Chain A
Amino acid sequence: GEDVEQSLFLSVREGDSSVINCTYTDSSSTYLYWYKQEPGAGLQLLTYIFSNMDMKQDQRLTVLLNKKDKHLSLRIADTQTGDSAIYFCAESMRANAGKSTFGDGTTLTVKP
């Protein structure tokens, strides 16, 4: 079955780059997503990448996809204290008709 794994914690200093990693098992994934969740809030869609792409950049966010290794990463440049949150990686497959598989989330702590 599908499985999505992330490391649970990441701590960086303000101004540094953060890299959050995710691995997935199902090679038929169609889309891969990054969501951000701040305490007490819902999930905010940050960005997504289609499985036939290698890279996507959106302002401070860069998503890299290595389909061969089934590895997805999210790089946040110039990390700010407001970036402190839980980041979830998720995959969806065309055949799954609306079911996405989420990783357990990476808690990013940004220290001033």
Chain B
Amino acid sequence: DTEVTQTPKHLVMGMTNKKSLKCEQHMGHRAMYWYKQKAKKPPELMFVYSYEKLSINESVPSRFSPECPNSSLLNLHLHALQPEDSALYLCASSQDAGGRTDTQYFGPGTRLTVL
């Protein structure tokens, strides 16, 4: 099973709302990732969690707040977003972060629209 699941599939929110994106994997992977992808562009890395600890933050604005409650779950909390934050948000996981086992498996994404 190489499945990463994400909920919700679509999300529309206003600039004053607070919402969360969820990601789950049951492959026993210890690294999880959040990416942002604009249309027709490659995914841009936002955060990496390794063994439930934040290991990489690519200078993401604080209105995005990641959380890794356990090794299978990854959340992205959203607050006071801007319309330019509208994008496809992708979660990925890998066995490890760095080295021979960092092949990443992606979820289907959450399509976020900020009004």
Within B30-83, the residues touching A (CB, 8 Å) are 31, 33, 40-43, 45, 48, 50, 55-56
Contacts of A45 in B (CB 8 A): 2, 103-106
Residue pairs across A and B with Cβ atoms less than 8 A apart, 24 shown, are A30-B100, A41-B108, A42-B4, A42-B6, A43-B43, A43-B90, A45-B104, A45-B105, A45-B106, A86-B40, A94-B98, A95-B98, A97-B48, A97-B50, A97-B55, A98-B48, A98-B50, A98-B56, A99-B56, A100-B102, A100-B104, A102-B43, A103-B42, A105-B41
A-B contact count (CB 8 A): 68
Q: Say yes or no: B102 contacts A31, CB within 8 Å.
A: yes
B21: Cβ under 8 A from any A Cβ? no
Binding site for A on B (CB under 8 A): 2, 4, 6, 31, 33, 40-43, 45, 48, 50, 55-56, 90, 92, 94, 97-100, 102-109, 111
Expressed in whole angstroms, the Cα–Cα distance for A105 and B33 within the complex equals: 20
